[in-house]
Amino acid sequence: MSATKFRFTEQAIEKLSGSDKRARYYDAQMPGLIIDVLPSNKKTFRVYKKLPGTQKPLSVTIGSFPSIPLEQARKQARKAMADIADGMNPNDSKRHFRAASVTLETVYESYKLSRKLKATTLRGYQQVMDCYFDDWAKKRLADLTETRIYRRHCELTKRSPAQADLAMRTLRALFNFARAEYKSSDGRTLFPHNPVTILSEKRCWNNVARKQTRLRPSQLKPFLTVINEMRDEAIIHRQDFTATVCDFVEFMAFTGLRKTELLELEWKNVFLDDQLFCLDDTKNGHGLELPITKPLEEIFKRRAEYRVSGFVFGADNHHGRVVEPKKIIKQMNARAEVSFTLHDLRRTFCSVAETIGVGTYTLKRLLNHKTSRSDVTAGYTVLTAEELREPADRICKRLSEYAGDINCGGESSLEPLRLQLANLSKEQRMELMSALIM
């Protein structure tokens, strides 16, 4: 009998000790039963046997000695070898058992770890899980049947059709992830059916139409007038947050950029001498280089004067920047008697660009919309800040015309005075405002 093959006994196994590398011993009494001894002296019973018609033996873990006594290990090994003789892989049975017990919460956590998601995306997913599936978190994925999903969608639709669809799209993504994540040894998925498809079969997706709201040309003047008034008042009363939000909203109106991309703009990516700025961390993952037009130059200079952090739209908080401007925007809406959201400004910018004939590829680049991989022409269209400067200036000019040349027109009688005020220091402005009030 060789040193690695002998009749297993409790005493003989206890005498085995770990070496520099893993050692494997075979049971002479039951061929196929082995015990692996690691350098740490951990001893593990396994079945090592081929499936009929295969070349590579299976390794089926039974358990660790002495937690599992020898006789119990032999009993479990007999069952595993009987399954193998019948052409069944015992490891698949274990996988099926684990898959049958996996919960929605477990799949969600694995899904997050498997992808590189932005903080805003993670917050959105977490909000869906907390608001709509909190009572399902501990439930097995296998228990989320078509009937349950259909009923939940109907319940959520009564509250918000758009949110009901959003919740179910998230759930559908988790089932698709589970289908790819949990597979048998031969590559077959353990979750072959996505029960969210019942919503398509019953044709009960709400398919809420995209919003079409934007600022009409006649609304741009009261809108920008209020921004200027609120900003001037905020500077006088040293309400820095309000003044920063006013600059941020005006910047959005003249660029159509996304909220978070703009709020995360840092001074290190602003190049006033070259009249351009860059966005690195964008929604589609592609960097964007844009020209600094006249309205933006004035905002950058003002923000530089009141700089409080490394962010252009900085704020005195632990983020170092403005995070949520809703409160100030609500005040703007009330004062201007104009109802707008930040995304309305993006649609307004896009609509104005369309009316003056800005090309599709140019507009997509200005808005940082991703082009299809199948669009060969887009791959040959390279637009830097210099190529975008002329169309960006034209869009700003048209917006200013609608707004009565509040920001960059040359005909307003207040424009020379505004330019002089822009050149004053903060202390000089305060002294001037004090004198005017008195």
For the stretch 137-192, pLDDT in tens is: 999 888 899 999 999 999 999 999 999 999 999 999 999 998 888 876 556 777 88
Give whichever of 87-101, 231-245, 369-383 has the largest mean pLDDT: 231-245
The CATH number of the domain covering residues in 217-437: 1.10.443.10
Tell me what pLDDT residue 410 has: 43
Sheet architecture: strand order including 23-27: 5-6, 23-27, 33-37, 43-49, 58-65
User: Pick the residue with more confidence: 405 or 390?
Assistant: 390
pLDDT interval class at 93 (50, 70, 90): low
pLDDT at 371 over 70: no
Task: Give percent of the chain with pLDDT exceeding 70.
Answer: 87
Tell me what pLDDT residue 406 has: 47
Q: Comparing C-alpha atoms, which of 120, 64, 53 is closest to residue 89?
A: 53
For the stretch 298-345, pLDDT in tens is: 999 999 999 999 999 999 999 999 999 999 999 999 998 888 889 999
Can you tell me the distance from the alpha carbon of 182 to that of 191, in angstroms, rounded to the nearest whole number?
7
User: Exposed, middle or buried: residue 54 (CB in 10 Å: 0-12, 13-18, 19+)?
Assistant: exposed
5-88: which CATH topology? Double Stranded RNA Binding Domain (3.30.160)
Tell me what pLDDT residue 378 has: 54
101-201: which CATH topology? DNA polymerase; domain 1 (1.10.150)
pLDDT at 359 over 70: yes
Q: Comparing C-alpha atoms, which of 75, 92, 83 is closest to residue 33?
A: 75
Listed by start position, the domains of the chain span 5-88, 101-201, 217-437
For the stretch 211-251, pLDDT in tens is: 778 888 889 999 999 999 999 999 999 999 999 999 999 99
Q: How many CB atoms lie within 10 A of CB 75?
A: 13
Give whichever of 4-18, 75-89, 213-227 has the largest mean pLDDT: 213-227
Q: For residue 39, what are its two tokens?
A: 């350098």
Question: Are 378 and 221 in contact, with CB atoms under 8 Å apart?
Answer: no
pLDDT interval class at 420 (50, 70, 90): low
Give the mean model confidence (pLDDT) for residues 20-27.
87
Is pTM beyond 0.85 here?
A: no
Can you tell me the distance from the alpha carbon of 436 to that of 428, in angstroms, rounded to the nearest whole number?
12
For all residues of the chain together, what is the average pLDDT? Answer: 85
Q: Is the peptide bond before 90 cis (omega within 30 degrees of 0)?
A: no
Any idea which of 1-5, 19-23, 308-312 has the lowest mean pLDDT?
1-5
Q: Comparing C-alpha atoms, which of 52, 57, 59 is closest to residue 35?
A: 59
Give the mean model confidence (pLDDT) for residues 399-404.
88
